Amino acid sequence: MEKTFIMVKPDGVKRGIMGEIISKIEKKGFEIKQAKLFKPSRELIEKHYEEHKEKTFFNELMDYILSGPVMAMEVEGESAIEIMRKMIGNKDPKLASLGTIRGDFANSITKNIIHGSDSIKSAQCELNLWFN
């Protein structure tokens, strides 16, 4: 079984759609092995988004993720990374297909509801960072 890291971002928590997102994950047959709802520290978020540190949007991204609580989850299932990425949809809500989480709920590239690991390596790193 494959594990992936999924985070419902502050806008998803604030808008009260965590339950719908969790329901979609579970209805797909995935198991949520760990979950925690909390406001992450700046240090944690800086480590998580380290690859974007030199990009122009980094400070806006930091402010957004630090604006409220997030729901961090370890999700397990067959091909969890690839399937969850398809369920999440394109980061640009104008390009995200209806039926995907972003296609149904997101209205901004920055405030795009959810994060999911994009590879086995990133999933392992992100799960270690958020749950250890």
- CATH code at 28? 3.30.70.141
With a CB cutoff of 8 Å and minimum separation 6, the contacts of 71 are 7, 8, 12, 13, 18, 22, 35, 36, 37
Domain that holds residue 101: 2-131
pLDDT digits (tens, 9 = 90+) for 40-73: 999 999 999 988 888 888 888 899 999 999 999 9
Mean pLDDT over 96-101 rounds to 97
- Identify the active-site residue in 3, 9, 102, 115: 115
Regarding pTM above 0.85, the answer is yes
∠ CA 116-50-97, nearest 5°, is 30
Instruction: Tally the domains of the chain.
Output: 1
Say whether 48 is catalytic: no
Q: How far apart are CA 103 and CA 105, in angstroms?
A: 6
Residue 95 has pLDDT above 90, yes or no: yes
